Amino acid sequence: MLKLWNKDRIAQASDILQSVSSQVNDALENRPISIQLRGLTCMKGSPARARVVYAPVLEVGGEGRLVRACKVITEAFVKSGLVLERDAKQELRLHATIMNVRHRKSKKSNRRNDSFDARAIFRQYGEQDWGEYPVPAVHLSQRFKFDEGGYYHCCCSIPLPEVAQSE
């Protein structure tokens, strides 16, 4: 997660992402990439006291191309100084957030220690195959700012190789 506190840092991050576009595609061997979402995991803690529940992202085919592409992007951001040193040492965790207590509509004032019991959710959906999805682009998205469709605002994106359309 990048800490982009102002427009200058957002512009710098956008420029860096654009500058590594060809290297990212090289890491993907200029072939389309798809992901699979399967199962559920807690970001920290246990399902009994969950704060964030997510579906792990797996590369379809398991060739390691996705991780290599992510590494190209991460290294560029680290080299630029946009990644804090403590964040640079964290392991990349590709995931799709399913539930987050931060977005819970609650009257509780102490959200820092807020959690929920997700054990029933894990029993029912813990091994669920959520499907496979092509990844057409990499987005630099801004937290807490949303587009008309409810998605995070995209500050910048780079296209990834697409599946050739049959005629």
pLDDT band at 102 (very low <50, low <70, confident <90, very high): confident
Please state, rounded to an integer, the average pLDDT across all residues of the chain: 89
- Which residue pairs from 138-146 have beta carbons closer than 8 angstroms and sit at least 24 positions apart in sequence? 138/17, 138/24, 138/69, 138/73, 140/2, 140/10, 140/13, 140/14, 140/17, 142/4, 142/10
Question: What integer pLDDT is reported at residue 59 of this predicted model?
Answer: 97
pLDDT of 110 higher than 80: no
Q: Which residue segment(s) compose the domain that 35 sits in?
A: 7-159
- Out of 81-85, 120-124, 163-167, give the one with best mean pLDDT: 120-124
Tally of domains within the chain: 1
d(CA 94, CA 103): 20
pLDDT of 57 higher than 80: yes
Question: What integer pLDDT is reported at residue 111 of this predicted model?
Answer: 54
Q: Has residue 2 been placed in a domain? A: no
Which residues does 69 contact at the CB level (< 8 Å), separation at least 6?
24, 27, 28, 33, 138, 160
d(CA 55, CA 58): 9
- Mean pLDDT calculated for residue range 99-110: 72
- Mean pLDDT calculated for residue range 46-52: 94
Q: Has residue 1 been placed in a domain? A: no
Q: What CATH number has the domain bearing residue 17?
A: 3.90.1140.10
Q: Has residue 46 been placed in a domain? A: yes
